Structure 1
Amino acid sequence: MLVTHKNTRIRKALFAGTAITLGMMSSNAFAQSTASATAADTAEDVTSAGIQDIVVTAQKREERLRDVPVSILAVSGEKLQDANIARLTDLVTIVPNFTLSLAGNAPTTNLRGFGTYGTQFAQSVGKFTDNVSYSRDLHARLPLFDIERVEVLKGPQVLLYGNSTTAGALNITTKQPGSEFEADASASYEFNHDETIVQGGVTVPLSDWASFRVAGFFQNLDKGWLRNNFTGRDEPTFRNRAVRGTLRLTPTNDLTISLKAEYDRVRDNGGTGQQIRQSTNPNRQQTDITLDDYRTSTASGAPFFSPEFVEVRHETYQADISYDAGVGTISSTTAYLNTRAGGSQSNTSDLPDYLNFLFTHYQQFSQELRFTVNTGSIDYTFGGYFEDNKYKAASVLDANFPAIAVPLPALGRYVDIDQRNKNYSVFANLTAHLTDEFSVTAGARYAILHQNTDQSSLAAPLVTNVTFDTSQADVLAQTDPALCALVQAGFAAVCHEFKDLKRKEYHFQPQVVIQYKPNSDIMFYGKFVKGAKQGGVDIAYGGTPANGVSREEAMFAPETATSFEVGVKGITGDRMLEYSLGVFRTTFEDLQLSAFLGTSQFTTNVGKARTQGVEAEVTFVPVTGLRINATANYLDATFRDFPNGVCTVEQIEAAPPGTVCMQDLSGRPTPFQSKYSGTLNVSYDIEAGDLRVTPGVSVMAKSGYYVGTNDDPLGYQKGLALVDLNLAVTPVDSWWKASVFVRNLTDKAYKEYGVATALIPGGYSIYMSRGRSIGVQVGARF
């Protein structure tokens, strides 16, 4: 692995932080359960009483979904399991206005038309698991298992989450150990791609005040959906596994302690990229430019000898404490994350011309303290958050110039970044219940951010035989200053080493919410929030041969978002119909964007961008057992001021020789967003003797959208509809379940990502989704 660190000191700090928090608390403690999801277990069940309330923890307390003044979609762990969803990328079929692509080395997550693509960024769509921030793109690859609930929060989330996010957040809650013995397990097999998923968990009471839960996960996909003509193998393949242990202690009546450890190992082999356009250079002609079920990648052959792969190894150590102090509740979350990732990706050319290696090592220690008081007329929360993270990344861009008749030797451009970030923030939130029907909430987070970065761009001969265990020292030993002139000619990048690039930022992020509840069945709300995301340093910065390098140009500015939202949520008196309707507008300033130009990524700030739209959801239960859920969305997400976007392939071809082609993307739609989208889910419980049979159908439809960052027509995906089917059988006492599932019934393969092909002028690469999946699943609960 590229970077190796001792983490003993951080682990000591983790437990020291826990000890300090315990020391602050009185010995008279009361057992107060952490965010329980008991109600969410049956959130999607339908009884003769009609629609059941869904309980969420989006505001760090248990409340009904329709009482939360924010656009939110909640998915229970049971629904994830029934749909055979084990990766965040699979949520795109059930969550409107949400996209997540794992194509390439850098995953990209988008909500309402905005997100982040690039390894050097904190994420605009944050991922929070059990109140801990997982803020890097590589964390999107971690599996979903033993989940209580996933909540998708749309719009800036700045107040109640440790790291501010400007586009939205995924709030994931894992299952917690209860006070009684419990065991559950499921296994599924998907036929078309030979995919096996096994997961389960066991809760064991240790005493009257202690219980332990251990959960495990295994996923193996043996047969990918694209055939690699060079290797003769079907790609990609997965082999993922994870284990999580949680210890819950209630030593006194007012105190609950939860200790958690998790280990994840994720490995993808192969890729999904294909060439779809021929090179305009006669020396770089491709043999396969058809968008079909075949691709050609020669990375595993000479001269690179490195097959395409992405691997992530992750650890989490976490301690949560909740203490009822009488006047209020003190909560603490202490966590340490250690994540290493490595990957090798070709430009999908059938020539042995280009390969990119990217390795990262991310370490994060965080501590949050919050104090919450509910008096009836006034509720308030205040607290503080500290985070210290180290982010190291290195990339090698290998170019085999002789293979494409370029008069340069085979070369490697090495870039790296070594970054230390510290986040100090305080937050406060006060809710005044002015009347029984009317309340006003006002709060803010003030953050001080320190960043210190080293960044380098060096030259090397062709770097070969790279694996996950290749070290940074191994690669650095191959760099050679004598090759800098050749790298400058081949990559248009200048060799340099920057030390101590310092940034210090101050962000005040206010939020105001107004709620009006004329009765318990309906709620109107309005929300204003302003959020910010930290700036940074571009790992791939290389300056220009004409102007050299500049420390200032290597850095990019922070991103800010200002959002307004109004909406209504309610349920009819007979509980047959539940509904929500929201209207929103969010404006981004200095939007952080990473795009591909030539042979590497580069980072820039978009002057202004905006997303606005309408989101509606209805759940209807006309008779006992029948449930209909539908969503409809209108989205207008555009760049408002972006004069220096990367040109399309055709624009580059038409540009004068020797010029850097840029286009004005102002007024153009943002990537990965559809103007119209919606979902329809229908299920019906049928009792047949001692069995309950539940057929279900789900449809996700969206209008056309671009899958590249520069609106290239080659990366345009036409509108599509995906249909999933499920048939489940379970006894009335529900201790076991068997089901048959079909995902993507019509076998609709669609574009996930598109980019101009490195070293292949005129070429364009498309990364394709998985097609139809048919499988069976069995599960049991004791």
Structure 2
Amino acid sequence: MRTLKGLLLATCALGAAAPAYAQDAAQEGASAGGLEEIIVTARKREESVQTVPVAVTAISEKVIMQRDITSIEKIAAATPNLSVGRASNGSGAQLTMRGIGSSSTSIGIEQSVAVVVDGAYYGQGRIIQEGFFDLKRVEVLKGPQALFFGKNATAGVISLTTNDPGNDREFIARAGYEFKAQQYMGEFIASGPLSDTFGVRLALRGTKMDGAYYDNVSVVRTYTTADVANGFAATPHSATVASDGPGEKEFLGRLTLKFTPSDDLTMTVKGSFDYNKTKNSSWNYVAYNCGLASGVSQLSGYKCGTDFVTHQNNIPTDIAKTFPFSEDDGQLYNRYRSWAINGNIVYNVGDVTISSVTNYNTNNNRWACACDFQSSDTGTWATENSTWRAFSQELRAQTAFDGPINLMVGGLYQKTKRLFDQNVMFAGLENSDASPANRYLAGSKSSFTNGETAALFGQVTWKIVPTVELAGGVRYTHETKESYFVQPYNNPYLTSGGGLPIFRSADSPDGLGEIRANQTFDDWSPEVTLTWKPQDGILVYGAYKTAYKSGGFSNGGINSLLSSDPLGDLTFNPEKARGFEAGIKTTLADNQLRLNLTAFTYKYADLQVDFFNSPIFAFQTLTADARTKGIEAEFEYAPRALDGLNVHGSVNYTKARYTSFPLGPCYAGQTPAEGCNLTEAGAVIGVGGTGVRQNLSGRPLSVAPEWTGAFGVGYDTPVGSGFKFGINVDARFSSSYLASGFGAEQSRQDKYATLDAGIRFGAEDDNWQIALIGKNLTNTFYVSGVVDGPSTGAGTGTASGVHADQLGFGNLPRTVQVTVTKRF
């Protein structure tokens, strides 16, 4: 097996993966060589990517298959200025584009990078748990996208379109094996017409890992509890070593029904299901930089490093049997289940197209976490059960008159509900007087938020002259959110009657045990775009754009006795963006060369930043002002002289900084000399004082590299009689960046480069194919988000401060997968 894996890696290193920029399958009748046309729906209608005045990276169905793009993370790996960090708790992810993203620690924050699936908005970070396959295309739209994509797209949009039934019957079977994680994969797709007007498509996918991506290295820990109801009597408990991660099992299914009773009416219904379970919710958390000079973790005793190794233990087995939402054996896990139904109607009435998108989606996520993320004998464990439900209806009308004026008008309604329950165990606390479920809890949390959104939007397009077009539009949004938060149980030692007054109980005598919030938000988001087409193959555009992202409620926060404003800790204002973007798109050299250039500058007001405030033991969602600006250049070359060759690449410069964050929080262990020298009121404290704030104005945002880029080459050619061969390679580069949003230099991720590659052989008519796909062949480790290690760091605001260990959200290691595809 080792010899085989070595040969596969060597073969992959000579090959390559398909361009992320865009080759759709060759259109019938197209001339040999040259660029293929890329169709996108960035303005909710089909247009060539070279004629739409939006900065967009399109990934075609062909490239999706060649690079095995089956998740949001894999989309990011193919898009240089998009980053996705997989988080254990909170929202479950940090999606960042052009340096703007949403930190992962609050489940109540929706992502600044919106995800849209078949026209329906999915804004929750847990979308990262979804697997995606049988995709027609992926579009990554950069910058604010308020007008055409629902809500909350202040940084950009990832839009996915799944395949519909076609006019011809097809059966596709695909099997694969990935060597690193010993992962088996199987897919089956059956599609075709049942009549002249009705078609059906069934797509199924299942995966199972016998191995893992990350090694979990630890020793059996002894967790000793002290019973506060029995004179602090001590009881030892054994915590076994957690499994290597993720050990994933996944099943995906989608059924599509398409009814086309006439050329003017199309109705499509898609029902989907997703089940995903891993052996650990924090399997990719790595202590890559430790606060101690020795480089050894302050908790686990292991040396910190930039590798694919973590150190975590299971919940003690005897405690796990009664611990809420725990597996009986205490095994750490993450289980995600989702269901969705999506209805899409397109009706052409003369020169007017009426479209409707109706969507209901719900997901439930449960996990058990070693929530210090590097276990010790003083361990911290938690479990969570959260549910999200959303119903939305969007209706839109768009004209296509021959005259100079055209219109688009529409409306959106969405109703949402979040349910949240969490249970936390730490500090060796026990209470034998409590119920069995609460006996070993430090505290529990329960919360919900009911939301309702109504929006109206419209755009007028005026073709001033045949080559100049002016488009102006606006979206009005009205939102209400009703939220509730309570800590139904706390160990007495952590309330006012105990020795550590941290948690406020539900029956707190000050009446602040239950937090209720009723929030109302209103916003107008205008947008103006001027487009000039001086000749065929050249597009010049400039745009003024604004965007809005919901304010809300941090359902997973903490109501601390030491907080003077518990309601303020859990609520936060909307995030808003405004700015300019200009670009030029060119198709040159007889349709052999694309050259595109984009420049942008956007200001963000009340950028939502979540922070765990360890001095008062509370989560706080803060807001700050920021700016992102930069230049993006991309090219694609497909010479007619060598049909099948495609060379492509991009270079991006982005500068993302806080413009006003005068009282930002100090990171754990930050000293006055490092800037932690301000009080809440803004007064400077001398060295040796106890500052709790820092001025972050001018400091970089989280996961905001200044330089990113990509370069790739692909070649497909017929060989022999009726066969086809292809090789491709794609490299991705990032300069260094701070993974923390709070100026912690020790969180810095060094510059890195990754290499993906692939090699394919099969029938010229695609009846069958064997492919070898390699990702991150350099086995480069990098992080796309970070948290200060819980229970590490000390002396924040003093000269003797000790930095916390940095726990980063690591990427996938080198993977090599072989796949076999057969069409019937």
The alignment partner of 1:90 has SS state of: helix
Q: Which amino acid aligns with 1:287?
A: G
Contact 1:40/1:148 (<8 A) preserved: no
2:285 is aligned, of 273, 292, 303, to: 273
Q: Which amino acid aligns with 2:452?
A: K
Instruction: Tell me the alpha carbon deviations over residues 505-526 of structure 1, each in whole angstroms, 9 at most, x when there is no partner.
Output: 1110101010000122110001
1:695 is aligned, of 727, 738, 761, to: 727
1:328 is aligned, of 335, 352, 364, to: 352
Structure 1 residues 45 and 152, CA gap change in structure 2 (3 angstroms):
farther
1:550 and 1:595 mapped to 2: Cα distance?
14
1:436 is aligned, of 461, 466, 470, to: 466
Match of 2:808 in 1: 766
Match of 1:680 in 2: 711
2:532 is aligned, of 508, 511, 516, to: 516
1:390 is aligned, of 400, 408, 417, to: 417
1:556 is aligned, of 572, 576, 590, to: 572
Instruction: Tell me the alpha carbon deviations over residues 404-440 of structure 1, each in whole angstroms, 9 at most, x when there is no partner.
Output: xxxxx96523233211111111111111111110000
Q: Are residues 1:781 and 2:795 paired?
A: no
Q: For CA contacts below 8 A with separation 6 or more, give which structure has more relative contact order.
A: 2
**What is the deviation of 1:86?**
1.8
Of 366-375 and 724-733, more deviation after overlay is shown by 724-733
Normalising to structure 2: TM-score of the pair? 0.83
Match of 1:13 in 2: none
Contact 1:459/1:483 (<8 A) preserved: no
Match of 1:451 in 2: 481
Match of 1:413 in 2: 443
Of 149-158 and 546-555, more deviation after overlay is shown by 546-555
Instruction: Tell me the alpha carbon deviations over residues 70-116 of structure 1, each in whole angstroms, 9 at most, x when there is no partner.
Output: 11001123312221222211222210110011132221111111111
Instruction: Tell me the alpha carbon deviations over residues 706-738 of structure 1, each in whole angstroms, 9 at most, x when there is no partner.
Output: 222323223211000101111111222222221
**What is the deviation of 1:545?**
3.5
Structure 1 residues 541 and 436, CA gap change in structure 2 (3 angstroms):
same
Instruction: Tell me the alpha carbon deviations over residues 478-503 of structure 1, each in whole angstroms, 9 at most, x when there is no partner.
Output: xxx78532689264667544454111
The alignment partner of 2:73 has SS state of: helix
Contact 1:487/1:493 (<8 A) preserved: no
Match of 1:26 in 2: none
Match of 1:63 in 2: 47
2:531 and 2:345 mapped to 1: Cα distance?
31
1:85 and 1:488 mapped to 2: Cα distance?
52
Contact 1:145/1:199 (<8 A) preserved: no
Of 158-167 and 363-372, more deviation after overlay is shown by 158-167
Unaligned stretches of 5+ in structure 2?
1-21, 219-240, 321-329, 431-438, 507-511, 677-686, 794-802
Of 278-287 and 410-419, more deviation after overlay is shown by 278-287
Contact 1:355/1:399 (<8 A) preserved: yes
Contact 2:113/2:155 (<8 A) preserved: yes
Match of 2:315 in 1: 300
2:109 is aligned, of 116, 121, 139, to: 121
Match of 2:8 in 1: none
Q: Which amino acid aligns with 1:245?
A: L
Structure 1 residues 357 and 233, CA gap change in structure 2 (3 angstroms):
closer
**What is the deviation of 1:458?**
4.3
2:30 and 2:754 mapped to 1: Cα distance?
25
**What is the deviation of 1:268?**
2.0
Match of 1:368 in 2: 394
Match of 2:456 in 1: 426
Q: Are residues 1:727 and 2:759 paired?
A: yes
Structure 1 residues 80 and 543, CA gap change in structure 2 (3 angstroms):
same
Q: Are residues 1:238 and 2:268 paired?
A: no
Match of 1:467 in 2: none
Of 617-626 and 639-648, more deviation after overlay is shown by 639-648
Normalising to structure 1: TM-score of the pair? 0.87
Contact 1:494/1:548 (<8 A) preserved: no
1:630 is aligned, of 630, 646, 649, to: 649
2:515 and 2:441 mapped to 1: Cα distance?
25
Q: Which amino acid aligns with 1:674?
A: P
1:262 is aligned, of 265, 268, 272, to: 272
Instruction: Tell me the alpha carbon deviations over residues 33-72 of structure 1, each in whole angstroms, 9 at most, x when there is no partner.
Output: xxxxx99444899962410110111111111001111110
Structure 1 residues 293 and 625, CA gap change in structure 2 (3 angstroms):
closer
2:99 and 2:40 mapped to 1: Cα distance?
25
Contact 1:385/1:426 (<8 A) preserved: yes
Instruction: Name the Cα RMSD after superposition.
Output: 2.8
Match of 1:468 in 2: none
Structure 1 residues 491 and 296, CA gap change in structure 2 (3 angstroms):
farther
1:695 and 1:302 mapped to 2: Cα distance?
50
Contact 2:308/2:810 (<8 A) preserved: no
Instruction: Tell me the alpha carbon deviations over residues 556-592 of structure 1, each in whole angstroms, 9 at most, x when there is no partner.
Output: 1111000210000110141110111000011100111
Contact 2:700/2:741 (<8 A) preserved: no
Structure 1 residues 507 and 285, CA gap change in structure 2 (3 angstroms):
closer
Match of 1:354 in 2: 380
Q: Are residues 1:108 and 2:127 paired?
A: no
Of 165-174 and 337-346, more deviation after overlay is shown by 337-346
Match of 1:476 in 2: none
Match of 1:309 in 2: 333
Match of 1:93 in 2: 77
Contact 2:243/2:279 (<8 A) preserved: no
Q: Are residues 1:286 and 2:310 paired?
A: no
1:550 and 1:95 mapped to 2: Cα distance?
40
2:132 is aligned, of 141, 144, 149, to: 144
Q: Which amino acid aligns with 1:555?
A: T
**What is the deviation of 1:203?**
0.9
Instruction: Tell me the alpha carbon deviations over residues 333-383 of structure 1, each in whole angstroms, 9 at most, x when there is no partner.
Output: 111111111122221233142123332111111111111111022221101
Q: Are residues 1:640 and 2:629 paired?
A: no
Structure 1 residues 283 and 139, CA gap change in structure 2 (3 angstroms):
closer
The alignment partner of 2:63 has SS state of: helix
Of 116-125 and 508-517, more deviation after overlay is shown by 116-125
**What is the deviation of 1:742?**
1.7
- The alignment-based identity, stated in percent, is 25
1:581 is aligned, of 575, 584, 597, to: 597
Q: Are residues 1:527 and 2:543 paired?
A: yes
Structure 1 residues 425 and 329, CA gap change in structure 2 (3 angstroms):
same
Structure 1 residues 115 and 700, CA gap change in structure 2 (3 angstroms):
same
1:723 and 1:215 mapped to 2: Cα distance?
30
Of 225-234 and 356-365, more deviation after overlay is shown by 225-234
Contact 2:504/2:560 (<8 A) preserved: yes
The alignment partner of 1:698 has SS state of: strand
Unaligned stretches of 5+ in structure 1?
1-37, 404-408, 462-480
Contact 2:82/2:95 (<8 A) preserved: yes
Instruction: Tell me the alpha carbon deviations over residues 246-265 of structure 1, each in whole angstroms, 9 at most, x when there is no partner.
Output: 10012244321111110111
2:397 and 2:422 mapped to 1: Cα distance?
43
Instruction: Tell me the alpha carbon deviations over residues 652-697 of structure 1, each in whole angstroms, 9 at most, x when there is no partner.
Output: 6987899463322211111112100100110112332122211111
**What is the deviation of 1:768?**
2.6
1:343 is aligned, of 367, 372, 382, to: 367
- What is the number of equivalent residue pairs in this alignment? 721
**What is the deviation of 1:648?**
3.3
1:487 and 1:274 mapped to 2: Cα distance?
35
Q: Are residues 1:489 and 2:500 paired?
A: yes
